Structure 1
Amino acid sequence: MKITNRIISILIVLLMLFNTGTVFAATDSLSYEAGYEAGYDYGYDRKDNDTKLSANDAYFDKYKDSKAHRALKNKIDDYKESEFKNGFIDGYMDAYDEKGNANQEIDYPTDLGKAMGAIKGAKDYQSGKDSDWRAAIPGSTNISKMFELDKQSSSYRGTFIKEFTTAFNEGYVEAYDMAAYDPTLVTLEQSFMDGEDVGVIVGAAYGAKDFYAGKELDFKRDLPSRNEITEQYSLNNDELDYEDGFISGFVSAYEESYNQAYREANMNDGLNKAISAIIPISGGTAVTEDKRFTVDVPSGTYYHDVNLSIITSFDVREAGYSNLIKASDSYTIQLSNSSGNIGEGKSIELSFEYYGDKFKGGIYRKDGSNWLYIPTDVEDGKMSAKINPKILNSSGTTFSAFVDDNTAAFRDIRGHWANNEIDAYVRRGVISGYSDNTFKPDSNITRAEFLTLLSRVYNWNVNANPGSSTVFKDAGTFGYYSNVINYATYHNYISGYGDGNFKPGNLISYAEVEIIMNRVLYYQSLRWIDVANNMLYDKKARSNSFNSMNNKITRAEVIYMLYNITEND
């Protein structure tokens, strides 16, 4: 049947070319052909199914806007949705009915008449003519010549022309009406769905917001007006039919989503839900009841089975998040590790359900009253981060997802080996970049800049010290760095040079950094060679310290060192 239809289509086009000198593409366009192929394949797969799915339902419910549909749309130049749909339905019906019609005789007069009528009907509409199938149909003499009916009996010829005429009428009217009304139908359907998609998101946000603000349920309270929706979603330049459909879909979905979000917030308010799981030495996964937070522990992380609990806090209405926007509930992990041992080099992965901005979203760990950003990977529907198992204990460690609208994107750290560590310290407010939107990760760092960074990481109170930096000959050049130099020299973290100068602008070496860090970290020792080896192993980045410890350290290396010291502490 599929091959027969193609032969008939080719025959009609050729006949029209020979007789009128014009070829019309009403049913022979690339969009139609692609739709026919897709519909035929889908119908063929379903034809043995006991429950028949109508062609229209197959197109709208199972195929439209699918991955395969979008892929075809992108491949076809001058893609037309209405033609694709017509082809899909024709192909689907042909494939579905092929088995039942395999032994039936082909009704050439009807098939040819309807196909030619469809071509003429579409052409007349596109040419601006009124619908008039009688004016469009060839005369009986021309029909006889086109199909060589003079070789048939007069009885056969009369029957053929009669059936051809009836089918031509039907095909012409259907094609004319479809060309006239189908674009509007497609526009209305698409606009309504687009409006629904937006309305669901906005309605849910306002529903939860109103509940936590202590307001009564009333979806109309913040429902945008027609003009506001039109302006906010740039509908002014679109067709009026699309605007009407979008607004109708938006309002309908907004109300339903608002009510649902308000009632869910009401159900969850004031509740803390907890789940517990035994994580064996072979590893395991713990998932919260809402399925929105997952803890994945790899094998060998612990030397004995551990008990892991996750407490969910519905705290989105709490304040005190500074510039951060809450993107999840908070989850507190409590872990009981009786042996106290942890596998070296192991990391635990945390995952949040997330659909927001990929760059601005991230996972944060609560540290006192602050939230500290953790390097986060964001995909569609998920954000994840690796943490050191050492930070989990029986007292509980709390994590949450946030969106930071103020986060900066430095163009020269994208793809850099220390990108994650630099991004973490930028989001935590420890470091900043330059005015040209760069960070210069591979530039060296001065003695004064290094001390300033230490003061921010370790929260030095540089404004309350009895020492004085004026003992140095070059104290007049310290400027902004006076207090931090005063603090560091007072605590003997660093000293000046033998000539009585401090030289704050001198670039600092790996050897100097090692000495200073061992004084700052008086309760533990640090060997720079260990940091350099970790960089080489974890990041595939070779430090210039391998050539000489007197070489100068880079900004990226300092950030990498400090981040790993503080996170693994």
Structure 2
Amino acid sequence: MDYCKKNIKILTVLLYIIMLFPFTYIYANSEDEAYQLGYKNGWVDGIKKAEIDYLYGNNKNYIRVMPNSTEIIEMYNLKIKSNQYRSNFISGYKSGFKEGYNMAYENPSDDRKTSNFLEELGYTMGKLQGYIDFHKGESNKWTRNIPTTSDIMNMFNLMEESKDYKSNFISTFSIKYKEGYEHAYRLAKYEPYKATLNKGAEDGKMFGKILGSNYGKLDYYSGNTNHWERHIPSDNEIISMFLLNNDNTDYISSFIASFKSDYRNSYEEAYRKANVEYNTFLFEKGYSNGKNIGLAKGEYLAKIDLTSGNNNNSSKLNLSDKDIINEYELHKENNRYNEGFISGYREGLKIGYNSLYEDLKYRTFINKNITQIIPKSGGEIKSGDNDFSIKIDKGVFYNEVVVSIEKILITDKYIMPSKDRFIKASDCYDVKIISSSNSVNPKKLIKLSFEYYGSDNGGIYRYKNGQWEYVPSNIDSNSINTYINPDTLNNNNQIYAVFIDNKATNPNDIKGHWAKNEIITYLRRGIIGTYQDNSFKPDVPLTWGQAISYINKIYDKKLILNKSFDDPISYKDMENLMKLATENPEFSWNSVAEKIKWDKDKLSSSYRSMDNYITRSETIYMFYYLNQ
């Protein structure tokens, strides 16, 4: 029932508004008429929607309930109208809907808010009529179309109310109607003049700001003093420059005043800003250049220290300003540039040095240890730096094995070879193989490879008993390789590295010889030597003196020569010496001869007679085979 009463009130108000503002006389211009008609209909519809939202407790949101353009066209049969008419009607409708909705929602027509609603309604109706009267050419007379007392009483159902309430209601409505009417009338009257002044000020400000800024920068970069009046145009020049002759005087006056005011402000601001920007640019440019150069220098110094094995030493980075200026020839640069460069250089130097030093050191430690399971089908493992690898063929081990490679970063506890003779050509690597069995396939070897691009006198060395001993090595285009017996690494560890031997000899008479690798191994180990003509003579008989010398060196014995030094020694006599050297009475030369036959495809003359003489190459092979 309350909702019906409320609707009756709304309809009463709406009918009166329609009566009060007939839709046929507002403007002669049909486009303005469309806008005004749309505004009134939108205002009415907005009030309806607001009352419903307020009644049901919905949030205030006119956009949610306002019809869209298509719906407005359907509601008011605008399809038959022109496009411009429809556009103006819809624009007016939406503006009116918003104002009507907001007014009604904020001033709901209940008893508690009747006063606020009344004031808003009276003010809005007066405002609308004032705007209409001005544009119709009527005088400013608010009483012309105000509703009569009878109309107000009927509209708002005041017949049943007390005399005081009626009087207050009509008085309040009339006062607010008058306020709205006169405000709208005067606003419409002075709006064009105000718009002209505002437009002139706006345009003058825009152009004054542009020119003032340009001349401010120009004077600074031309070396002129800060003087804003130096280039400012006169009034006539402004009028001519911006084609103001045909405009009205109000616009011109406003334009010129605003132009001059903003010209000065922009000039001085641009002049000072240019000064700041230029000096900031110099400092920042110097800082950027200095930091980049400092970063590069810091990284360079870090690489040198790491390669040389030096500790992180930041104290070397504390250079004086004079040192930096001299090193980078900053004498002719601007002082601000120099300040920036030195500041950036010091920062970059420390960041570059410390960050790269720690980064490279981290990468070194993270790659220090590599462990991998190699199945019995074989596989390959590489060191963390990829400079060293181990390749195990299938069937070398009868079960899977664990292989580890540890890069030795500190070699102080190892006796390194003499720097006068040897050049270290790789890092040192500790290799270990752990298996569940002590059995291996003795017919297969494990391949060790180092990345290598050095000379032919480079070789792989194994650390054993406090010294580095050469192992037979082959050099190809990008690596140096050796093959080792798996027994030497099975459940054991060994250390390997590459050294270049500056005194290494490679006798010409062993090229292509079946015992070449073994002979070179013992030459590089310093156990044997060459003749004065740098030959080895691998196939000549070994002498007694040579046999005793070799055995004493290899087995750390003190055998005494009881034969003539240069007399050749037979297989039988060598066998007896080896029983003493190895302390094995069961030693047999025949086992060595068999190894030579099968591994080297070489038949020893001992098969014909043990009294024949053993050759130098057979002897060296025996030593290598027994002690590898």
Normalised-by-shorter TM-score class: 0.3 to 0.5
Larger Rg: 2
Give the TM-score taking structure 1 as reference length: 0.47
Larger RCO (CA under 8 A, 6+ residues apart): 1
Larger % of helix: which? 2
